[in-house]
Amino acid sequence: MGHLPTSPKEKFRAVVEVRGQELRALPFEELRLAGSKTTEHLSIDSRDATINIIVQSQPSGGVRVVVQGFMSTRPFRGIKRVALHGFYKYPDESVAPMPDEEFYEFD
């Protein structure tokens, strides 16, 4: 049995990862038509969090999908945690990881 997330930071990262895995499972056409950005607001252990889903068309015909999460660390401190998950999906339903250096555009 794997490690269960216990801290707010671990829980938040787990939520972002799950959203990414759910999106990977969607058909290409559904992702392509999803729109460029949707936002989800949630609370994790009384901490406000926002998860943005960004879908960008690519010249190759595929899409780049980024799950961008922000969570406040403590009330009134103004610090936010960032969690990211990203991948490429193509019309043939193949999936490729997003290179680490591309994540800098989203943090």
Q: For residue 23, is pLDDT > 70?
A: yes
Q: Is residue 3 part of a domain?
A: no
Q: What is the pTM of this model?
A: 0.86
Among 100, 74, 96, 76, residue whose Cα is nearest residue 87:
96
Q: How many structural domains is the chain composed of? A: 1
Q: Is residue 98 part of a domain?
A: yes
34-54 average pLDDT score? 88
First to last CA, the chain: 32
Token digits of residue 54:
């960004």
* CA–CA distance, 66 with 53 (Å, rounded to integer): 6
* CA–CA distance, 12 with 6 (Å, rounded to integer): 10
Structural domain of residue 58, as residue ranges?
Answer: 8-106
* CA–CA distance, 47 with 23 (Å, rounded to integer): 24
Q: Is residue 2 part of a domain?
A: no
Q: Is residue 1 part of a domain?
A: no
